[in-house]
Amino acid sequence: MYLERPEGHSLFVEFYGPKEAPPIILIHGWGSNSTQWYYLKKHLSTSCRLILMDLPGLGRSGKPKNKDYSLVKFARDLEAVVALCGDKKPLLAGHSIGGMTILTYCRLFNQALPARIAGLILINTTYTNPVRTSILSGLLTALQKPVLTPLLRAMIALAPLVQLLNWIRYCNGSMHLNNHMIGFGGSETRGQLELATYLTTASPVGVIARGMLAMFDYEATPVLASVSIPVLIIAADKDILTKPEASAFMARSIPGAELIVLTPCGHMGPLEGNDQMIDAIKRFGERVFVAVPFV
């Protein structure tokens, strides 16, 4: 289905599993779309109601006319999806920027959180500007204003050319090599690498650049200590984009949070570490949705 949003675009939402089952809302990572949840759809849709959203400008969701790709905008879109659950309290599960969207949602709707949301699952994500919690964070932080910001603005201005170059790199295999080095820990299958690379290449360059600029302003540290619902944090031992230290910090800061680390695995945990992740989500779901077996 499509949800019409105030910014003049449609948000694509799809559903899997029985309507009466406990709901889980899934928010994908940046440069991807809801297709990345292939394994969760396959293994969890018999036990729960999966609700997948494509973030603005990606997948089948439209582009906001005001070009707003901020985390606050994404969190308000998430609130519209939460409303689709009616009186049922969903689990919110987000990968990378999806997790940042969830923590921004917690900041915006903190007082209403216990009455609206059953729990949170934060996957390969961070609590602050991801430049600060990635590999070479010191160097990247120093380069953010003088180099990274102008480079991203140039990508927006030259989006058609950059998009063409990305498809050339996809065809010659260099985009696959880049994804292998940055997104995975070395245990991925060829199919997982192909899927992640295709999704990255097909994502509109201008949208990706605007979203990355918006991430520079992301900060959720102050809200961590006030999250009062169950939280599962899923990290990966070889993640260089959101290092496992960021997940460990969140686990220490959020009261009662549970932390698991996928091994060996990189940033694309929903693909590369899907078996370990699904087992962890099943255990967490059975604890949050009391007396509901996850098969």
Q: Is the peptide bond before 6 cis (omega within 30 degrees of 0)?
A: no
- What domain count does the chain have? 1
Q: Is residue 61 domain-resident? A: yes
Q: Is residue 272 domain-resident? A: yes
The CATH number of the domain holding residue 244 is 3.40.50.1820
Give the C-alpha separation, 10 to 22, whole Å. 26
Residues of the chain with pLDDT under 50: none
CA-to-CA dists, residue 246 to 38, 48, 65, 95, 235, angstroms: 26, 29, 34, 14, 9
- Predicted confidence at residue 126, as pLDDT, reads 98
Q: Is residue 79 domain-resident? A: yes
Q: Is residue 201 domain-resident? A: no
- Predicted confidence at residue 63, as pLDDT, reads 97
Query: pLDDT tens digits for 150-185?
Result: 999 999 999 999 999 999 999 999 999 999 999 999
Q: Is residue 21 domain-resident? A: yes
Name 57's Cβ contacts closer than 8 Å, sequence gap at least 6.
63, 64, 69, 204, 207, 210, 211
- Predicted confidence at residue 189, as pLDDT, reads 98
Residue carrying structure tokens 């077996």: 293
Residue-number span of the structural domain to which 26 is assigned: 2-135+217-288
Q: Is residue 145 domain-resident? A: no
Q: Is residue 200 domain-resident? A: no
Residues paired with 73 in a beta bridge: none
Do residues 186 and 263 touch, judged by C-beta distance below 8 A? Answer: no
- Predicted confidence at residue 292, as pLDDT, reads 63
Q: Is residue 205 domain-resident? A: no
- Predicted confidence at residue 291, as pLDDT, reads 61
- Predicted confidence at residue 166, as pLDDT, reads 98
